[in-house]
A and B are shown apart, each in its own frame.
Chain A
Amino acid sequence: MFDALQRIINQLQGSIFETAIQPVLFQLGLMDWSEDVFDGIEFALYGALAVIVAYGLCRPLELWAPVESWEERRAVRTDIVYTLIHRVGVVPAILFLLLAPIGVFIDSSLRFDGYIPPEIEQMVTPLFNHPFATFVVYMVVLDLGEYWRHRLQHRLPWWWALHSLHHDQRQMTLWSDDRNHILDDVLALVWSGTLAMLIDVPPGEYPLVLIGFRLIESLSHTNVRLSFGRIGSTVLVGPQFHRVHHSIEHADAPFARSRGCNFAVILPIWDVIFGTRRRAETFPSTGVASLTGPAIRCGYLKHQWEGFRRLFAALAHLIDRRRAGFVAALPAE
């Protein structure tokens, strides 16, 4: 089934590229970009597929047993715009075109000096000829990286200023995963892209890895009264586990010092190992207590601008401690 699906995606990718994109590249004298753009179309198509699958899987859950119901859903519509822009095309395409040359430069410099990143199959030889098992290993390693990126997003004031855009949503739904500032997305891509380069994730598999993450993240943000239970919540991040992370009260003791809990993206085991797991079978309200009003219930562009405002305030505070900064949005220690 997966092969058939992949074949359909690839034929669609080929048709779009051959009939709509390649002629434009040819006319603009950009044929040396053809393979990169061709790969980018696949990235966008898988992104669209991830959105469709996430909607098909998670929306029925939200209708079945919602944690919260709202009459006014403007904030949710903003998250839908976030998803369409950030997941399907525009933002990934821009980030890909801007960051890929930097990645190639670093990679080429290292290889020119004789550093060839080790392949996981070479280090763990039983994985050779088992691409799915290798894929799982990549996911686990990258998930550990995501756990620590997420810790830093909450720990560093300037990064929290950006990440607070993700957390200020009080109507958390399956669409909320992509509610991120574009600079935060750049940092995320640099972070995971660097790690992927260090462990030599094949460029062709990187979109699949990202899509795997995104599907699980859509589920974990879903507005559903669903818990994987005591054991299940140690195996896979689910809606209840992640809702506790988004809790408007998540700065409560004993987690105040680390500014949060339940940071894992896919595997909750990281929270268990690093002592940030919070066991709770509750479905708390979400948001950041100090952030209210139009700043959080606004459209995409205004919300992005709000992110810049918070970042500049946080940076100004770092430079001059007398300035107010973004401390109002930080959980109290």
Chain B
Amino acid sequence: MVLNSDDDTMSVINADTYKEVSRIHIGRGPHHLIESPDRHTLVIAMSGSNELALIDRTTGVEKEHVTASDPYQIGYSPDSKWFVAASLRLDRIDVYDGKTLELVHRLPAATMPSHIAFSADSKTVFVTLQGTNSLTSIDLASGKVNWTVDVGPTPAGVITRPSGTLLVGIMGANYIVEVDPSNGNVTRKITTGNGAHNFLASPDGKTLYVTNRVAGTVSALNADTLEIENTLPAPGGPDDMAMSPDGQELWVTGRWHAWVDVIELASGTLKTTVPVGRSPHGIFVY
């Protein structure tokens, strides 16, 4: 499933034939989608129509629409207690009850809050602020900001490592940074490629993939050492990623060319591109 954010549609692709089998009008400005904690439901955030669409993961049937003002990037805390939505366009972060999806905190966030990661203990959410080159840490229970620090130009993706440290993609530069979650200090820079954007950990946890938006590549890093093991071709403005269930292919949305790159990991080559709708963003493979 691929969300075409400029078309208000969702493309369904047959992963065996690499063909788009249907394109469904889903709602305005669909950007990201995640699994619910019980893995039965896909939650699609539609920033333009101010709602979340809850889709049955097995049947693909829409179960419910939930009103949520301008949800862009979304995420459940590891303990499922919290659901957080970053509103990139409206400069705020909304914290919802993870069970009822009722709003608990609405926090101004200057500016352009983008990607989300949680601490392993589910007490803290970390959000990149693209417009002010910073990363902010928020205590979920109180809604108080722990710290906000400068991490580099136009930070995008953020992920929590098993060790607890954070990695942030610096889209305005050619590197990712490692950040101490206790105080926001940048402890390390790792060069990946121009426009370092987003992360995906391989299912076995050994490899970390980083999309490089400007370079048109994906860097494959050793998840322990953070050393680059391979650089994969991903033309068209690589953004979000998903792994095929067999772990053989990496699927990457190409924002600027309305296609999805399919990369064969064994050979490290671009296997094919699958045409979809305009500005494909979120992707989910199953």
Contact = CB atoms under 8 A, between A and B. Distances in A.
Interface stretch (A23-31, A75-83, A278-286, A310-318): A23-31
B250 to A, nearest CB: 20
A contact patch SS: helix
Interface in B19-57: 25, 28-29, 48-50
Contacts of A202: 8, 28-29, 48
Contacts of B130: 32
A10 interface: yes
Contact of A204 (B8, B153, B213, B235): B8
Contacts of A6: 278
A7 B275 contact: yes
Interface residues of B, number: 40
B194 A26 contact: yes
B237 interface: yes
Interface string B79-112: 0000000000111100000000000001000001
Interface in A19-48: 22-23, 26, 29, 31-32, 34-35, 38-39
Interface stretch (A58-66, A107-115, A291-299): A107-115
B194 A7 contact: no
Contact of A26 (B172, B254, B258): B172
B6 interface: yes
A30 to B, nearest CB: 8
Contact of B256 (A7, A38, A114, A119): A38
Contact of B112 (A11, A18, A32): A32
A204 B258 contact: no
B90 A32 contact: no
B52 to A, nearest CB: 14
Given A11-B257, A202-B28, A29 B237 contact: no
Contacts of B25: 128-129, 131
A26 B19 CA distance: 33
Contact of A31 (B195, B236, B255): B195
B90 A14 contact: no
B69 interface: yes
A116 interface: yes
Nearest to B90: A108
B178 interface: no
A104 interface: yes
Nearest to A203: B48
A116 B68 CA distance: 10
B92 A119 contact: no
Interface string B241-257: 00000000000001111
Nearest to B194: A26
B278 A18 contact: no
B153 A14 contact: no
Interface residues of A, number: 34
Given A11-B257, A14-B258, A26-B194, A107 B275 contact: no
A39 B6 contact: yes
A108 B130 CA distance: 17
Interface in B126-171: 130-131, 153-154, 171
B191 to A, nearest CB: 15
Contacts, number: 92
Given A7-B275, A131-B25, A18 B89 contact: no
A11 B216 CA distance: 16
Contact of A14 (B48, B154, B195, B236): B236
A14 B239 CA distance: 14
A22 B131 contact: no
Contacts of B214: 22-23, 26, 31
Contacts of A119: 28, 49
A122 to B, nearest CB: 9
A38 B5 CA distance: 13
A116 B50 contact: yes
A102 to B, nearest CB: 14
B7 interface: yes
Contacts of B213: 22, 31, 34
A112 B103 CA distance: 13
A91 to B, nearest CB: 23
B240 interface: no
Contacts of B254: 14
A199 to B, nearest CB: 13
Given A11-B258, A204-B6, A204-B7, A104 B89 contact: yes
Nearest to B275: A7
B261 interface: no
A29 B256 contact: no
A326 interface: no
A35 B72 CA distance: 14
A31 B154 contact: yes
A111 B48 contact: no
Interface of B: 6-8, 25, 28-29, 48-50, 67, 69-70, 89-92, 106, 112, 130-131, 153-154, 171-172, 194-195, 213-214, 216, 235-237, 254-258, 275, 278-279
Q: Which 9 pairs show the lowest CB-CB distances between chains A and B? A: A14-B256, A108-B90, A14-B257, A31-B154, A31-B172, A204-B6, A32-B130, A26-B214, A32-B154
13 contacts: A7-B275, A14-B258, A22-B256, A32-B131, A32-B154, A34-B213, A35-B279, A39-B6, A107-B90, A114-B69, A116-B50, A119-B49, A202-B8
Interface of A: 6-7, 10-11, 13-15, 17-18, 22-23, 26, 29, 31-32, 34-35, 38-39, 104, 107-108, 111-112, 114, 116, 119, 128-129, 131, 200, 202-204
